[in-house]
Amino acid sequence: MTSGDADVRLVDMTLRDGMHAVDHQFTPEEMADVAAALEAAEMDVAEVSHGDGMGGSSINYGFSAATTEEYLDAVAPELDDTRLSVLMLPGIGTVEEIDMAIDRGADMCRIATHVTEADISEDHFVKVKDRGLEANGLLMLSHMAEPERVLEEAQLMEEYGADAVYVMDSAGAMLPSDVRDRVSLLVDELDIDVGFHAHNNLGLGIGNSLAALEEGAVTIDGCLRGLGAGSGNAQMEVLVGVLDKAGYDVNPDFFGTMDAAEDVLVPMIDDDEMPELDNDSLMLGYAGVYSSFLRHTRRAGEKYGIDPREILVELGEMEVVGGQEDLITDVAARLADEGAAAEAAGDD
């Protein structure tokens, strides 16, 4: 579902996935300012939620500075041509929150599950479609399933009423060949649009997005300045410029998107909140661990005196998924105990 005559629809998630980078502390006023800048830049879609979707503000995922209602009430008046999206993770958010978001101006709802758990999303798709909104399905951590399994799960979402299904590289773990294999299969076999969501933990956010488009994807996610968990998402202003240079017809204005990032977002962000491709986020991509685990892993490593890289490798071998952040502390504590036991044995 591209916008107008554009070849690609761009979904800006600065006010959703970008929330991970700021510990979910954007204020409603800051969100309104960013939304106004995105509207001025003619962005196709802006997504607003806690980083883990509606209902995510909790002790498990981190409390946000305001409620979803307050965020939506601040952002909706700033958007006219730019559509307003919200994120729903079944098991974190509820179908009642879908009603709340729609009543506050949401135009579409994106429903995300782990790549092998699309079957938990049926009620949520039914609710969104019954209310007459566009519903997109997001298959998180798609690197954890072979292309054929990704297709099976995407077909379930299509059956439930999805208007588009996304391959999500939630851990930034995919190589271009991984993206091509999954996106091309979905494009060939589905009767709905295919999208792609990149993280930049291996430095491939833009390259993987281009690979997805070359295989037939028509909707792509990004964030201003690449804000997001881990080393961030595909950087939106770079995406707009690269796609324009590559000959794609896109709606957002290149200069306007650059201005939204430089003049509006950057002054809100502390230096230590700006994503970078450092060793920790590189390890996320290498280990294949969900990007929102990074800050929690750093804190656990400091608390227990464990190298965060060791924790991430262990979590990757366990194939942890979003919603299992509580395991980070368990792994750090176990590694610390094992280290202490080994040291004691050495002393003997």
What percent of the chain is modeled with pLDDT above 90?
Answer: 83
Residue 346 clears pLDDT 80, i.e. is over it = no
The predicted-structure confidence for 126-154, as pLDDT tens digits, reads as follows 999 999 999 999 999 999 999 999 999 99
d(Cα 109, Cα 85) in Å, to the nearest integer?
5
- Give the residue-averaged pLDDT of 200-215: 97
- Give the residue-averaged pLDDT of 68-90: 98
pLDDT at residue 295 in the model = 79
Determine how β-strand 83-88 pairs with β-strand 108-114.
Answer: parallel
> CB neighbours of 174 closer than 8 A, spacing ≥ 6?
142, 143, 202, 204, 208
Residue 195 clears pLDDT 80, i.e. is over it = yes
The highest-level CATH class for domain 292-347 is mainly alpha
The highest-level CATH class for domain 9-267 is alpha beta
Q: Is the dihedral of CA 127, 63, 117, 226 positive or negative?
A: positive
d(Cα 8, Cα 164) in Å, to the nearest integer?
13
Instruction: Give ∠ CA 111-113-117 in degrees, rounded to 5.
Output: 130
Determine how β-strand 219-222 pairs with β-strand 108-114.
Answer: unpaired
Report the DSSP beta bridge partners of residue 194: 165
Query: Side chain identity at 110, as an amino acid letter?
Result: R
pLDDT band at 157 (very low <50, low <70, confident <90, very high): very high
d(Cα 246, Cα 178) in Å, to the nearest integer?
22
Burial class, 273, CB count within 10 angstroms (exposed 0-12 / middle 13-18 / buried 19+): middle
Report the DSSP beta bridge partners of residue 213: none
H or E element in which residue 207 lies:
helix 205-214
Residue bearing the bigger pLDDT, 177 or 2: 177
pLDDT at residue 2 in the model = 67
- Give the residue-averaged pLDDT of 192-211: 97
The predicted-structure confidence for 7-56, as pLDDT tens digits, reads as follows 999 999 999 999 999 999 999 999 999 999 999 999 999 999 999 999 99
- Give the residue-averaged pLDDT of 269-283: 89
- Give the residue-averaged pLDDT of 232-245: 97
Burial class, 103, CB count within 10 angstroms (exposed 0-12 / middle 13-18 / buried 19+): exposed
- Give the residue-averaged pLDDT of 257-278: 94
Residue 65 clears pLDDT 70, i.e. is over it = yes
Residue 345 clears pLDDT 90, i.e. is over it = no
Does this model's pTM top 0.95? My answer is: no
d(Cα 277, Cα 82) in Å, to the nearest integer?
30
Q: Are 201 and 229 in contact (CB under 8 A)?
A: no
Domain ranges of the chain: 9-267, 292-347
Residue with tokens 């792509």: 220
Closest to 201 (Cα-Cα) out of 177, 233, 179 = 233
Kindly state the DSSP code that residue 80 receives in the 8-state scheme.
Answer: S
Q: How far from chain centre, in Å, is Cα 208? A: 15
Residue 4 clears pLDDT 60, i.e. is over it = no
d(Cα 183, Cα 193) in Å, to the nearest integer?
10
- Give the residue-averaged pLDDT of 266-283: 90
Residue 298 clears pLDDT 80, i.e. is over it = yes
pLDDT at residue 334 in the model = 94
The predicted-structure confidence for 303-317, as pLDDT tens digits, reads as follows 999 999 999 999 999
pLDDT at residue 191 in the model = 98
Residue bearing the bigger pLDDT, 1 or 121: 121
The CB density around residue 152, as the number of other CB atoms within 10 Å, is 14
d(Cα 44, Cα 48) in Å, to the nearest integer?
14
Name the average pLDDT for the chain: 94
Q: Is 20 a catalytic residue?
A: yes
Range list of β-strands (E), 184-313: 193-197, 219-222
The CB density around residue 262, as the number of other CB atoms within 10 Å, is 13
Q: How far from chain centre, in Å, is Cα 248? A: 23
- Give the residue-averaged pLDDT of 74-84: 98
